[in-house]
Structure 1
């Protein structure tokens, strides 16, 4: 069955547009090493797409009540800022996708769990900021992903019903948020593959934004 055309596009940022998740993982491991903490890869990967308000509880569940979570968070933040001083690489196919959306006259927004100060810095440093009509950031919503709030707010700013928006996401948390908001979701996995629960939602999964553009063009009747 041919999918109905979409009227607006919403993008996650970390791991979807910018290759930041690998940098964040390195920051966690570097900070843990400085503090003499053993941090397994699965503990770090479990935080991919997770809102900052959920991180402490996750770390306590994995490291125990006595772990110096506050110190670890601070050290990780400082290391992340060091590692992201310059422009962060774009993910493959991003610019072609954004240019295509612009050529179609479709409004584009950002919906990221990252707080605004960091999100704006990254997007401006990467030369991406002019593409977007707006950004909704993690410090501007009450209920983070996987709740639908951020995508409902973003669709409202577009003035487009959620079901007429396409959401591009890389994380399972983000996919659940977009799906719960009744948006059309295209998942482009980064560090974590879709879980069985994510696949059960019936969302589209593609290997990169290159294929994401191809799929979206087919939805718009251009394939």
Structure 2
């Protein structure tokens, strides 16, 4: 038996009532793993650098294992740059190499730089025009139903490669689900954690890790998915794409 475990926490009340987002987490676990991981996630919520929450929500749901699909994780490419400006320039070039137009890449970068507060989910941009094509507003598209197929094995494989840390572990799993989604050609993301300036460009095959994509101390982040609308039609619509991201259970191997 397997369960989906979700945590979200905020300060100033629930998110729906205007509370400031502090942290969130999601796991897909066997029954015997749930209790231990709930403690770990709770500790994460109350010790986060964005502040101590006054609202913590846990949601535990049994999963029909027949609904789970399995996808491969992305390869990691580590880049080396010396400034935010170099990082943003590199991100633009990586996006262009993955069929995103220069106009769309520029619009996406500027959109994230101009955010006054973190968007709750992701924005969907047309890869050619840079037009935002979802209608989710500040909520964005929330990617859920995602975890490692074997978290112990996954962490060990990253450690052997000299790559550790919760940010990388979770971002790589998330990016791998996004890359598996039909119609999405690339992703741009950086964190809203003030001390974490690393970001990435996700492609169909790679997680392009960029050391600096924002100023240290800035508690605003976001993510944009670039969609090839030529892959959408009456049999596979934008709603189908969003449904996969928000509802399909995916374990990353």
Q: Normalising by structure 1, what TM-score?
A: 0.25
Structure with a larger share of its residues in strand = 2
Structure with a larger share of its residues in helix = 1
